[in-house]
Each structure stands twice: as C-alpha cells, then as structure tokens.
Amino acid sequence: MKQRKHHPAWLILIACCFLQAGGVGALSNSAGILVPAVLGDLGFTQGKFILYMTIQGLCMVAALPLAGRLLPKVNIRILVSVGIVVSAAAFASMGSFRAVWQWYIAGGVLGFSSGFVFLLPAPVMIGNWFKKKSGLAMGLAMACSGIGGAVMNPLGGLFISRFGWRATYVIMAAIALALVLPFSLFVIRFKPADVGAAPYGAEEGDALPGAGAQALSGVSAKTAVRSFSFLCVFLVAGLISFGATFLQLLPTFAGTVGLAPIAAFLSSAVMIGNIVGKLALGWLNDALGARNSTLVGLGIVAAAFVLFLLAGLGAAVALAGAFLYGVVMSMVSVSIPLVVRRAFGARDYSQIFSYVSMGTSLIGSLGVSVIAFMYDAFGSYSPSFVMGIGICVLSGVLLVAGLASAGKLPAAGGASASPDPA
C-alpha cells in the first residue's frame, strides 16, 4: 500500500500526547506538589497520608485485567472518556476532605478509573498504529506526560500560594479534563482497521485492514504468562515503577536538605528529565534495541540516586539528580511497553501488556508508602536511595535473563516473537 502523505497514525499520536499530558501529567505526576500543603494544614504523618497512593495503585492493578480485555472489544473512546471523567472527579473531590480515610476512598476510585486512561490506551494504540518508528512514537507520546508534569508542578505551586491547596485540586482536575476529553471523544481509534487503514510503515499486504490475531507473530498470552521470561519482565516493570514513586515525595525531601524554596523546581527538573529521557529512550530503542536502551536507562537512574545522596552539597547537585531521576519515569511508560513487545511479539500484546502493567502498578504502588514509612522510621531518605541503587542493579540482571529466555518461546506461525536482537 502506498504511504499517504499524512498518515492517520500521526493524528492518533497527537491524541495520545494529550492523553498523557492531561491524564498522567496533571493528575499523577503533579500530585506530590500538594503533599506538603496538606500535611502542614491537617497534620497527618507522611506515611499515613501517602498510603492513599498505594491504595490508588492497588486499585489500578484490579482494573488492568479488565481494561486489557475491554480495549479490543469496547469502543475505546467510551472507555477512555468515562475513565478520565471519573478520575478527574475523584481528584477534585480531594479538595474538600478533612479526614485521611477520605483520601483512601478517593484514591481507590481514582486508581480503578485511571486503569482505563493512564497505562494501557496510549502504548497499545501506538503499538497498533505504528509498524515503523514505534520507538520514536512511543517516546514522543510518553514525553508529554513529562511536559504536563513540568508545567503543572510550578503551576500547582502557584495555585496553592494564590488559592490554597483545596482549590488547586479542583483546578488541576479541570485542566486534565480540558486536555483529554476532546481527543478521547472525537479522535482516538483502537486500530487502523477501524478507519480502513494499515499501520504506519506497513508494506502492501503486510497488515491488511481487519486482520486478526492469527496474522500477527508472537507468543500467545497463555504461553507467555507461564514462562520464566514473563516473571522477569513482570518484576522489572514493578521494580522500575517502585523506584519511580519517589517523585511524589520529592517536595518533602527538598525540605529535609534545606531546599524547600526550590521544591517545585526539583519536580519540574524531574519532568524535564522525563521528557528528554522519553525522547532519548525512544530513539535508543530504534537504534540499539529494547534491552540495551533499557540498561542505559537503569544506569542513569542509579547515578541519580547517588546524586540524591549528595544533595546536601547544594541545589545544583539536587537539580542534577532530579533531572537524571526523570529517566526512571520515562522507563515506566516507554521502556516497559517496548520490552514487552520485544519479548513476546504482537500477537496478544494488549493482553500481555495489561498483565505486566499489573506488576507496574502492584509493586510500584507499594514504593511510595515504603519510602514514606522508611523516612518516618529513619528520619532520612538516604536508606531509600541506597535501596534504589540496588533496585537498578537487580532490574538489569532480570532484564537480561528474561529477554534471553523469551527468545526460546514458541511463536505463532513459527516466527520469532520479535526481530529485535537486543
């Protein structure tokens, strides 16, 4: 099939960019900026309050298998639109709370509904719409969650100083809706066949509109989930997400090292690193393969934790650490989906990715509470940073072992699960 000058895949990519900026950027990556204000006003301990984020993550885990099954079967525009409305309503309601248990309930609702918005739709749609330049497309889309966070963190700080934290919850929720709803209602489509197109970069006859799962190469979901490689990829996804949760505590960390005045800027530095990391990881994936690009990312994140240990030396060190730390967030949304496709192929990708995302949410959701309670116990974040370095090393070992094992799995039609040798 002759390539159109303006392939509809690029419009889908733009829609995915806004999904990430509004959903993840405004409601997830910026939530931490509200934590010091809430704790200061209501007097909750850090661990007790942050527990709502763990509940949020666990409820997202519960939603992911359902979301993975429904995405190919139900109109994606309905699923994502309802999900963002419910997520924004739950987030906005936090502005009226006075008791910590209320955050626990709202966090549960936000987690379940965001399972249909935050993790699955954008990576799955990009995987469906792009046969070539998938790494670049994934990097561009996921970078927008960082752009959203980079903008919303200082804006959130400004809103808090001007209007208070209660109004800020409502304002941020409204911004999320404004960014996501127009695209979720009118633009997104699950796969090219829905509009009679082939994926971007497909050769004639390579991917015909309406082709079913039998035409796709890769490992079946049943085979994948029983394999050692799935266990490794599941754990890697979870451990990377575990390390990424420190973002929500960064504003409070700033206060412990005498950098409270630049707390919002540290969060923005993370988001800028997130943007750069997503673009770089997308490019590195296309150039070096999913394994090697992910190993590079893990090395950068380990360096970030070292710099956090040295943050007491000054703002420049802390800002450099925050910038490098942004790469771990890039890995959650760029590296993990690409690693899953590299390991298991395209055949049952959306279903397998939803299962792996359970690890991302399940193990990751524990991270923010573990770090918060460790701080309450030790009076310092340093033990958590040492743990973070260890997580990077362990993740690298599991990644190499898991992808090596995946190459031995039987794929549909006798084809390799993935042509990517790395």
Closest CA to 236 of 406, 357, 367: 357
**What structural domains does the chain harbor?**
8-191+215-410 (1.20.1250.20)
Tell me the sheet residues that pair with 218. Answer: 345
- Residue 343, classed as helix, strand or coil, is helix
- Residues linked to residue 345 through DSSP beta bridges, in sequence order: 218
Q: Is the pTM of this model over 0.85?
A: no
Alpha-carbon span 111 to 368, nearest angstrom: 14
SS3 state of residue 45: coil
Handedness of CA 190, 191, 197, 200 (dihedral sign): positive
Separation of alpha carbons 339 and 349, rounded Å: 11
Q: Are 352 and 234 in contact (CB under 8 A)?
A: no
Q: What is the DSSP string of 80-105?
A: HHHHHHHHHHHHHHGGG--SHHHHHH
Kindly give the confidence (pLDDT) of every residue in the chain, 422 residues in length, as a single tens digit, with 9 standing for 90 and above.
444 467 888 899 999 999 888 888 788 877 888 888 998 899 888 788 988 988 888 888 788 778 878 888 889 999 999 999 999 999 999 999 999 999 999 999 998 998 888 777 888 898 888 888 777 787 788 778 778 877 888 888 899 999 999 999 999 999 999 999 999 999 999 888 888 788 887 754 444 444 444 456 777 778 888 889 889 988 988 888 888 878 777 877 887 877 777 777 787 788 888 888 877 887 887 788 888 888 988 999 999 999 999 987 788 898 998 899 888 877 877 788 888 888 888 777 777 887 887 777 777 778 878 888 888 888 888 898 999 899 999 999 999 988 888 877 776 544 445 545 45
Helix (H, G, I), strand (E, B) or coil at 44: coil
Calpha distance 183→141 (Å, rounded): 14
Phi, psi of 218 (to 5 degrees): 140, 180
Burial class (CB in 10 A: 0-12, 13-18, 19+), 309: middle
